Structure 1
Amino acid sequence: MHGAWHGGWCWSKLQAALESRDIPTRTVDLPSAGGRSGISEDTRTVREALSSIDGPVVVVAHSYGGIPVSQAIAEVSNVSRVVYLAAFQLDVGESLMGFYGAPAPTEPHEFEPIPDDPRELFYADVHSAEAAEVIARLVPQSAKTFTDTVTVAGWNSIPSTYIICEQDQALPASLQEKLAARANAVEYLASSHSPFLSMPQDLAGVLSRIAREPIG
């Protein structure tokens, strides 16, 4: 599941890399990107997508996408593992802003605008021309997703792997380490926040290995 301001389109290079390894993939567009939905609506969208898939599923969540994924996987029975890719592996009662220690805004607003410098934050190791194309597709993010709290965390009962992006400027590795302590296993990539764009083959190799590892 994609992160804030993005859409399922951001996974296309990684999808091609995984499908070349005979791993079928499926993406989801979260309604909070470009809309007014909160975590509950995103969770419903993820849950419905997962429920429509037969067989065991490995779910990959990036950045904000980790929050609705954590809730959705608690409500389905076909998820064998969840992978948090530089993602918010939050627990019950936590919120994205709360994780940073920031208070909820006293004057709530509808949207979080696209960050002023997405190139540096998200795509520092992505080719400049490709980064410019991606930035042009970003949309405002529902502000509710930054303050809504997690009501159930499926990773407490479903095996999880955390992939730390070591050069990340959006969610620094030091903060990822704190989140990764909650996972059952940890992997590392020498990438910025978006390895699905900057190093899709490397990421596909890690995910392929994770997907084929026995559970337990």
Structure 2
Amino acid sequence: MTATAVHGIRHRTGRLRAAAGCAVAALCAVTAVPAAADSDATGTKPTIVLVHGAFADSSSWKGVIELLERRGYTVMAPANPLRGLYSDSTYIASVLKSVKGPVVLAGHSYGGAVISTAAAGNPQVKSLVYISALMPDVGESGMSLSAGYPSALGTATTSVPYRAGGVSGTDLYLKRDKVHPVFAACLPVSEANLLAVTQRPVATTAFSEKAKVAAWRDIPSWALVSRQDMTISPDQERFEAKRARSHTVEVDTCHVSLIARPDAVADLILQAATATGATRPALARRAGPAGR
């Protein structure tokens, strides 16, 4: 409604004048809430950076990206090299340095371990979001953290030695017949089979290298627990989130929650992006799985 139209209505009967006032007020309420909710205290929307996990690539965030971009956010989903915790987190940290303004950093699965290291010491990162993820503390590796919470992943992988550019190591692949029951049971078999065919291997060092920092100790975090996760135990995800004092939601989904439930994942990321006055967690001591 234009200002001229509103001015004209004000010269009509008292009843129409009141109705017009109510309509204008309602319109203001509808338009003002999203603008305020989608901005931080400075009125600036953060850039959302999404880090995928092992055996996957950035396309796994497709549905989440679409939902976030509809809300007007700038989204980045860089390729996680999957070569080792130290080198992968160094690479993601360099990506973060290219971003201007505040950042919300989300990681799925092994990507959670990567963001916990990559965000350390970066004041631009305002929130961390863990999606069915690893959240190691200082001195923990993905392997040591998961040892207290066994899952089906241990029997679902196969190892293949590699040598490239004078560097040798061992890659892990998901066994083709294990992708659907262990990794992606909440997807149609045909879609799980496609994930099996296109999977990216992950170096064993991604899970064996111990974290030297844990950004969730200093940065407010949000966590999504996948109740039907067969790759990372839901109990492990609950333990991690409780330890980090994360804002936590639980969803009936499998490990690839970002593919199966992009709505729930996007909603949680939006909570992190729009939170105002989120306090940094006050953690008394470092506690590994034995301290739960």
Question: Normalising to structure 2: TM-score of the pair?
Answer: 0.67
Question: Which sits farther off after the overlay, 113-122 or 150-159?
Answer: 113-122
Deviation at 1:109, TM superposition (A): 5.1
Counterpart AA for 1:92: V
Task: Summarize deviations over 1:50-79 as a string: whole Å, max 9, x none.
Answer: 111111111111111111211110032200
Does residue 110 of the first structure (1) align with residue 170 of the second (2)?
Answer: yes
Task: Find the aligned partners of 1:133 and 1:12 in 2 and give their Cα distance.
Answer: 15
Q: Which residue of 1 aligns with 2:62?
A: 12
Task: Summarize deviations over 1:92-111 as a string: whole Å, max 9, x none.
Answer: 11011111338xxxxx9511
Residue of 183, 195, 213 corresponding to 1:152: 213
Question: Which sits farther off after the overlay, 50-59 or 119-128?
Answer: 119-128
Task: Find the aligned partners of 1:151 and 1:60 in 2 and give their Cα distance.
Answer: 19
Are the counterparts in 2 of residues 162 and 183 from structure 1 also a CA contact under 8 Å? Answer: no
Task: Summarize deviations over 1:171-192 as a string: whole Å, max 9, x none.
Answer: 1211211111123321111111
Percent identical pairs in the alignment equals: 27
Are the counterparts in 2 of residues 84 and 160 from structure 1 also a CA contact under 8 Å? Answer: yes
Residue of 41, 57, 62 corresponding to 2:108: 62
Q: Which residue of 2 aligns with 1:99?
A: 145
Q: Which residue of 2 aligns with 1:173?
A: 234
Task: Find the aligned partners of 2:206 and 2:265 in 1 and give their Cα distance.
Answer: 27
More helix by share: 2
Task: Find the aligned partners of 1:92 and 1:137 in 2 and give their Cα distance.
Answer: 33
Q: Secondary structure at the match of 1:180?
A: helix
Residue of 199, 204, 207 corresponding to 2:266: 204
Identify unmatched segments of 5+ residues in structure 2. 1-50, 149-167, 280-292
Question: Normalising to structure 1: TM-score of the pair?
Answer: 0.89
Deviation at 1:140, TM superposition (A): 1.7
Task: Find the aligned partners of 2:188 and 2:205 in 1 and give their Cα distance.
Answer: 32
Q: Secondary structure at the match of 2:133?
A: coil
Task: Summarize deviations over 1:80-130 as a string: whole Å, max 9, x none.
Answer: 01011111111111011111338xxxxx95111224501112211112332
Deviation at 1:38, TM superposition (A): 1.6
User: RCO (CA 8 Å, sep 6+): is it higher in 1 or 2?
Assistant: 1
Identify unmatched segments of 5+ residues in structure 1. 103-107
Q: Secondary structure at the match of 1:10?
A: helix
Q: Which residue of 2 aligns with 1:42?
A: 88
Q: Which residue of 1 aligns with 2:42?
A: none
Task: Find the aligned partners of 1:58 and 1:115 in 2 and give their Cα distance.
Answer: 33
Counterpart AA for 2:58: G
Q: Pairwise CA RMSD of aligned residues?
A: 1.9
Q: Which residue of 1 aligns with 2:75?
A: 25
Q: Which residue of 2 aligns with 1:105?
A: none
